[in-house]
Amino acid sequence: MKYAELTRKLRRLGCYPTRFGAGSHEIWRNPATEKQTPIPYHRSKDLGAGLLSRILKQLDIDRESFDKA
């Protein structure tokens, strides 16, 4: 999954970027759970399945909701 697709789905779920993190990362927040996580900002690279799983877990978003978004 590319960065653009990930962030599009996160925005549909109400998440938003709060600031830039270290290096080429953005910090995203889920207002429903008040949790946040860094997301790598690599437009051309695919994010691995493990990384996607960790991002969703840290934002407290279940995979089914994410896939429907």
- Which CATH number is 42's domain given? 3.30.920.30
pLDDT in tens, 18-57: 998 778 899 999 999 999 999 998 888 899 999 999 999 9
Give the residue numbers spanning the domain of 24.
Answer: 3-68
Q: Calculate the dihedral angle through the C-alpha atoms of 57, 15, 64, 61, rounding to the nearest 10 degrees.
A: 30
The reported pLDDT for the residue numbered 22 is 78
Token digits of residue 15? 């998440």
Token digits of residue 33? 């759970």
Please state the domain count of the chain.
1
